[in-house]
Chain A
Amino acid sequence: MPEPLVKVRDLKMHFPIHAGILRRKVGAVKAVDGVSFDIFEGETLGLVGESGCGKSTVGRALLRLYEPTSGSVVIGGEDIATLAPDALRKKRPTMQMVFQDPQASLNPRMTVAAIIGEPLDEHTDWDEAKKTERVYELMDQVGLNRRFANRYPHEFSGGQRQRIGIARALALNPRFIVCDEPIAALDVSIQAQVVNLLEDLQDRLGLTYLFISHDLSMVRHIADRVAVMYLGQIAELSPRDALYAAPLHPYAQALLSAVPEADPAVEATRQRIILKGDVPSPANPPKGCNFCTRCPKVIPLCREEKPRLSEVQPGRFVACHLVAANQDTAGGHASPGPEVREHNQQGELS
């Protein structure tokens, strides 16, 4: 197997909670709490899970838009999480982000050309002519008419604005792009346009994607492997077809069973796993398995001990006592298999 381009180990991102007049730290939101995975060159890793489970925080911590609490993020051989500011600045061009809301992520007072060219101003010493040429090239690549270069974002539709965001992300020839819900704000009929564009660009430019989404059907279309997150942790990470054919983690099973399918015949016979209650707060996750409060298959051990993410079948990583117990053939030491077994305590006081 090739070396992964992105190697994440035991990544944690805890946001402090302050209270009182003295703004003392009274706890932490464990938005990401010990996450490990690899992304191989040229592949798309889907990251799915419900809102608040920590997907965006993973994406941001990977690109060091947040300072991770602990853990490592090795991209192209360098640990982003600990890189000195200067080295980080040099690294920035190789890793980029496409955001959910094209409206909010584009400066309304800048022209399209200025928005797309901004990274060039920051990271190159090219002259205006060369920059303009690159901006045009990027507009061609994402299917934006060059004639619109001097228009402003509000003059574009949602799908076109997302193209502007993608062109900007491509400006510096990145190798790795975090796409954070890039189609969530778009209409169904426009989503396919943007997804096809992302796929074309990947083929043409050899890009590697982390594709964050809560749309499980779309992730099945675009991803090679899929990580399912729940409450700051990965419940299951499996190759796409294996996951959709037979999810192993009880949360992955419930999640997939809840997705409605656009086929009345299928829907009429669908057996849904209806989860009870709501997701616990990441400031106060349950002891043991973080899914134990809602898991339909919970056993006493789940409330005591945190299951670790382990390879239960070749290439399939699951964090569940039941799955691990049934398939004790795990063995091997493929990635991502770090030993993560601590912190069962609640709400970490300081």
Chain B
Amino acid sequence: MPDGASPVLDVRGLKTVFKTRGGEIHAVNSVSFHLRPGELLGVVGESGSGKSVTMMSLIGLLPSPPAEVRGGEVLLGGRDLLKLAPRDLQAVRGAKVGFVFQDPMTSLNPVFTVGNQIMEPLMKHMGMTKAQATNRAAELLDLVGIPDARKRLKSYPHQFSGGMRQRVMIAIALACDPDVLIADEPTTALDVTIQAQIIELVKDLRQKLGMAIVWITHDLGVIAGIADRVMVMYGGQVVEQAPVKELFANPRHPYTRALLKTVPALTGARAARLEVIQGQPPILQGEPVACPFRARCAHALPRCEAENPARRAIDGLPVGHGHDVACHWSPEAAHA
């Protein structure tokens, strides 16, 4: 995909807070990213870093209250989704953006057949007749590798295994041929051999359908295998963003660097002792005025306490297009 191609999805300065009795939780703080046609953007970060809330915010899936999307733009096909009326947004959700969640059981309706649930958006958003929708639904199940597709349309979600349910979710997400597929930890609840099946399927579907994908995970191994570009989140912010090979070869943010060292390797040298990141993730209370990683950072400077670092490019390309990092420290300065 050419670097110049205009993005299918462009998120700018997204800000989401939760209003709680204990005060405001700044879950997503000025998050910006874009997605080029056909690209797979990996999003990594530990739990609570704001990955899910970011994606739910841009498509209006968060209950308000307590959530409040306080700022930013979400441009999809020339429109700002944050300015759409609820009804229009719902249409976008069904037709332009597909969602796959970690636990398919929470998003599949147990009392309707799987066929029913795939056909619904087809009839609603694509204006298909029942017969057309049935055919398309069978095609979709076949596409995601479910054997006996036409017969399985009549099955209920509980009659599928975890891996098969995730395939069904993918079929539903793809039903209306969306521009963007957002997969939020789609394989986290699955066993590795089933995860491998799903990843293989998604790679195959990318070849066939060419949609752009956002893939959220906390597993650096999964990211290494499927992403074109990676965005690392910490404490509700994007702390680093780079093409996948560049990120693993040349991590710049102290969190990314530590994270890559803390996971043991499956092959090669075996470390006698694991590197640890001391301390705990931050509680995102109040306006973030300092670096969210400072308390656990091995390189923290006085400035890190006083000023939340902005993302800056390290390779001359505009922020978001090459390799950028949000940190006051730099490896070169440390060695100088």
Contacts and interface: CB of A to CB of B under 8 A. Distances in A.
Interface in A267-311: 267, 270, 272, 274-275, 278
Interface in B245-300: 245, 248, 258-260, 262-267, 270-271, 273-278, 280-281, 296
Contact of B220 (A50, A159, A262, A272): A262
Nearest to A159: B280
Contact of B191 (A51, A191, A193, A261): A51
Contacts of B192: 50, 214, 216, 255, 258-260
Nearest to B255: A189
A264 interface: yes
B274 A192 contact: yes
Contact of B225 (A159, A193, A260): A260
B232 to A, nearest CB: 12
A244 to B, nearest CB: 7
Interface stretch (B18-26, B32-40, B195-203): B195-203
A194 to B, nearest CB: 9
A265 B245 CA distance: 7
A51 B161 CA distance: 12
B8 interface: no
B273 to A, nearest CB: 6
A323 interface: no
Between B194, B219, B244, B275, the greatest number of chain A beta carbons within 10 A of the residue's beta carbon is seen for B194
A196 B193 CA distance: 28
B164 interface: yes
B274 A264 contact: no
Between A193, A244, A275, the greatest number of chain B beta carbons within 10 A of the residue's beta carbon is seen for A193
A267 B224 contact: yes
A187 B218 contact: yes
A221 interface: yes
A195 B276 CA distance: 10
A265 B224 CA distance: 8
Interface in A166-219: 187-193, 195-196, 199, 214, 216-218
B270 A262 contact: no
B305 interface: no
B46 interface: yes
A263 interface: yes
Contacts of A88: none
A260 B221 contact: yes
Size band of the interface chain B makes with A: 35 or more
Nearest to B147: A277
Contact of A261 (B200, B244, B265, B270): B265
A189 B220 CA distance: 12
A272 B280 contact: no
B276 A196 contact: yes
A192 B191 contact: no
Nearest to A200: B273
A278 B164 contact: yes
A66 B209 CA distance: 51
B259 to A, nearest CB: 6
A253 to B, nearest CB: 11
A29 interface: no
A266 B220 CA distance: 13
A261 B281 contact: no
A149 interface: no
B47 interface: yes
A50 B197 CA distance: 14
A191 B221 CA distance: 16
A157 interface: yes
A254 interface: yes
B191 A244 contact: no
Nearest to B225: A267
A91 interface: no
A144 interface: no
A259 B223 CA distance: 12
Nearest to A257: B196
B257 to A, nearest CB: 12
Interface string A205-247: 0000000001011101100000000000000000000001000
A264 B225 contact: yes
Contacts of B219: 260
A288 B154 CA distance: 33
Interface string B115-131: 00000000000000000
A256 interface: yes
A221 B274 contact: yes
B75 interface: no
B200 A214 contact: no
Between A216, A259, A265, A275, the greatest number of chain B beta carbons within 10 A of the residue's beta carbon is seen for A259
Interface string B174-204: 0000000000000000011111110110000
Given A258-B192, A262-B221, A275-B197, A244 B267 contact: yes
Contacts of B235: none
B186 to A, nearest CB: 14
Contacts of A278: 161, 163-164, 194
Contacts of A263: 224, 248, 265
A50 B194 CA distance: 10
A266 to B, nearest CB: 7
A267 B220 CA distance: 11
B258 A261 contact: no
18 contacts: A50-B194, A159-B280, A188-B262, A188-B263, A189-B258, A189-B259, A189-B296, A190-B280, A192-B276, A196-B274, A199-B273, A217-B263, A218-B264, A244-B267, A260-B192, A265-B245, A272-B196, A274-B193
Given A192-B277, A220-B270, A255-B192, 17 more contacts: A188-B259, A188-B263, A189-B258, A217-B221, A220-B266, A221-B264, A244-B267, A258-B192, A259-B192, A259-B221, A260-B219, A260-B222, A261-B266, A262-B220, A262-B260, A262-B263, A265-B245
Q: Which 9 residue pairs across A and B have the least CB separation, nearest first?
A: A260-B221, A50-B191, A221-B264, A258-B196, A262-B220, A267-B225, A192-B274, A189-B277, A187-B46
Interface of A: 50-51, 157, 159, 187-193, 195-196, 199, 214, 216-218, 220-221, 244, 254-267, 270, 272, 274-275, 278
